[in-house]
A and B are shown apart, each in its own frame.
Chain A
Amino acid sequence: MAQSSAAAAAVDLPASGWRKFWSDFSESPTAVVALLVFLTILFIAVFAPLIAPTDPYDLATVDIMNSRLAPGSEDFSGTVFWLGTDGAGRDMLSAIFYGLRVSLGVGALSGLVALVIGAAVGLSAAYFGGRFETLTMRIVDIQLSFPSILMALIILAVFGKGVEKTIIALVLVQWAYYARAARASALVEKNKEYVEAAQCLALGHRRIILHHIMPNCLAPLIVVGTLQTAHAISLEATLSFLGLGLPITEPSLGLLIGNGFEFMYSGDYWISIFPGIALLITIVSINLVGDQLRDIFNPRLQR
């Protein structure tokens, strides 16, 4: 039982495994739709410069005369601004495409770094045990007892704003979640026969952890990774809105929303609303995909 669930949960699936994975995943139509929406957003983010109607940060094409136009209005040359323009006359639709690029980029990069650090700490804590485990898990517990916004606020208040500082803050906020998830599944795996077999072969610790234990711990890490990335994107937007996250040169969705905030009192709703909707769709689609992944990988719900 334990063996079969471990095999099913392994991510290094053979071809038929992928098919089974897809048939499990597609059981929920909502999750499939969410995945399609997310892939579309990802496509937009990656190819933003090619598909955006205008380049919102090219000073030669942006005209201040077009500032704060309502959605659907045209300028003199006949360009239509489907989602309106912001205070500097930039096309909101294009700005959102470019913003998605920054938001997703920062979210994914910080998630990846946090995953690597957290997994390394969590797996070695479970494998070596002893004082190292007690100490690292104590740090994880203490850190998780503070809300993420507070941790990020402390880090950014201390180190100041900037792209790499925001990423560092997001990594420091997230790594503990990965460490906890990695340790929990590694503790189960470490007592199984195949680890014992590897130890009998006198393989090195690093090889056992990386090649034997880690592949079997990837499933829960992927689930945590999806949900955490959504969280990181939302947190980055919040910090950038507060003016503590990304600088103006890297306009993420949070910064776009913040820019529109001042115009909102005069009724120019579109500058804040549309980037917010883009942010919301991104977060919800990632969360729905993550929820479905969790259900698939949960051994207790295994059919």
Chain B
Amino acid sequence: MTAFILRRSLQSIIVLFVMSVIVFVGVNLVGDPVDMLINPEADQMEIDRVIRELGLDRPVSEQYWYFLVNAFQGDLGRSFVFGEPALKLIVQRMPATMELALFSLLLAIVFGIPLGVYAGLKPNSKISRTIMAGSILGFSMPTFWVGIILIMFFSVHLGWLPSTGRGEVATVFGITSSIFTLDGLSHLFLPAFNLALFKLSSVIRLARAGTREVILQDYIKFARAKGLAESRIIQVHLLKNIMIPIVTVIGLEFGSLIAFSTVTETVFAWPGMGKLIIDAIYNLDRPIVVAYLMIIVLIFVTLNLIVDILYSVLDPRVRIKGVE
């Protein structure tokens, strides 16, 4: 067990290291930030001064070494555009992204499970067919386009919900979030629904498949034979059993919500770290790009490591296969 965790951790560190080399070397080959950042009216002295200040005059290998040393001290460089530490900027915007991702997850679960269970209980009814057709659409529609449609319908046409920004935020129990104010919630709803749509479709499909399987089991028949109310059978016997695969998939794919939030944040001008990275790519703000990619890779590697370890605890076969 310990050997397994050690091997997986070592592998995670290798992945991180390889990513840092690819990202750093690659980003340094793109464009010339000097042209982007320095006033074209500036004289040569001024240009040289800024280049020295940003460390752009040193060889890439040396820049990388300093980057690595500083990264271990939590210093991922200063943004060329904002003039602030890259890490600080990203950490500042992380709560907005997390709030969006978590709220989307909540929407996907709250709407997805009942719809999926219904479609599984009455597979041939018209409503179920509509639900399933909707889930196919949800899979196929590109997220950004759905976002545009949502803005067009709910913001421009009906004027019900705002389409940009995060709205008013409030702090409760030390957590600053827009879910604590009505204005914030109204800002949050559209982007969260947009981000949730893909996940919603997969939760519906999982819940439906699970329901169709579980409903044929003997313990459901037995519960019915005992004369339990249908609602109790669904709530206790059915839901408990279909939740396992759903929770697994949701946990595994939480990371993909964070990744896809780059798209939703751009459409809805949501001030999270996804919008920050897209803007940084436009502006060739290299420290931000490098820092964001390193942080998101770190998040993913950690999530995967935790899932791997949990699996090996739950299922010894994974562990044995890993040793071979």
The answer to whether A and B assemble together is yes
Binding site for B on A (CB under 8 A): 138, 142, 145-147, 149-150, 153-154, 156-160, 230, 234, 237-238, 241-244, 254, 257, 260-261, 264-265, 267, 269, 272-273, 276, 279-280, 283-284, 287
A267-B158 Cα distance, complex, nearest whole Å: 11
The answer to whether B282 touches A243, judged by C-beta atoms less than 8 angstroms apart, is: yes
Chain A residues with Cβ under 8 A from B139's Cβ? Answer: 287
Q: How far is the CB of B210 from chain A (nearest CB, A)?
A: 19
**In the complex, what distance in Å separates the CA atom of A80 from the CA atom of B287?**
50
With A237-B142, A265-B156, A287-B140 known as contacts, the answer to whether A147 contacts B256 (CB < 8 A) is yes
Q: How far is the CA of A160 from the CA of B281 in the complex (A)?
A: 9
Residue of B nearest to A241 (CB): B144
Does B40 sit at the interface, judged by CB under 8 A? no
Q: Which residues of A contact B144 (CB under 8 A)?
A: 237-238, 241-242, 254, 257
Number of A-B contacts (CB under 8 A): 112
Kindly report which residue of chain B lies nearest to residue A265, judged by CB atoms.
B156
- A272: chain B residues within 8 A (beta carbon): 145, 148, 152
A235 nearest CB across to chain B (Å):
9
State how many angstroms separate the Cβ of B257 from the closest Cβ of chain A: 9
B137, A284: Cβ atoms closer than 8 Å: yes
Residues of B participating in the A interface, judged by any CB pair closer than 8 Å: 11, 15, 19, 22-23, 26-27, 29-31, 136-137, 139-145, 148-149, 151-152, 156, 163, 255-256, 259-260, 262-263, 266-267, 277-278, 281-282, 289, 293, 296-297, 300, 304
Interchain CB contact under 8 A, B145 and A280: yes
Q: Contacts A158-B22, A237-B142, A279-B142 hold; do A261 and B148 have CB atoms under 8 A apart?
A: yes
**Known contacts A154-B293, A157-B289, A238-B142; A145 and B152 CB within 8 A of each other:** no
Residues of B within 8 A of A157 (CB): 23, 26-27, 277, 281, 289, 293
In the complex, residue of chain B having the shortest beta-carbon distance to the beta carbon of A276: B145
Min Cβ gap B45→A in Å is 30
Are A158 and B30 interface neighbours, CB within 8 A?
yes
Inter-subunit contact B26/A159 (CB<8 Å): yes
| A254-B142 Cα distance, complex, nearest whole Å | 10
Taking the nearest CB of chain B, how far is it from the CB of A194, in angstroms? Answer: 28
Rounded to whole angstroms, the CA-CA distance of A149 and B277 in the bound complex is 13
A158 with B23: CB separation less than 8 A: yes
Q: Which of A230, A242, A267 contacts B278 (CB 8 A)?
A: A242
A283 (CB) vs chain B CBs: closest residue: B140
Given A234, A237, A264, A284, which contacts B151 in the complex, CB threshold below 8 Å?
Answer: A264
- Cross-chain pairs A/B with CB under 8 angstroms, 18 sampled: A138-B11, A142-B15, A147-B259, A149-B260, A149-B262, A158-B22, A234-B140, A237-B142, A241-B142, A242-B262, A254-B144, A261-B267, A264-B148, A265-B163, A269-B152, A273-B152, A284-B136, A287-B140
CB distance from A28 to the nearest CB of B (A): 14
Q: Contact at B149–A154, with CB atoms within 8 Å?
A: no
Contact check, B148 vs A257: say whether CB atoms are below 8 A apart. yes
Q: Which residue of B lies closest to A158 (CB)?
A: B26
Nearest CB in chain A: distance from B33 CB, A: 13
CB distance from A174 to the nearest CB of B (A): 16
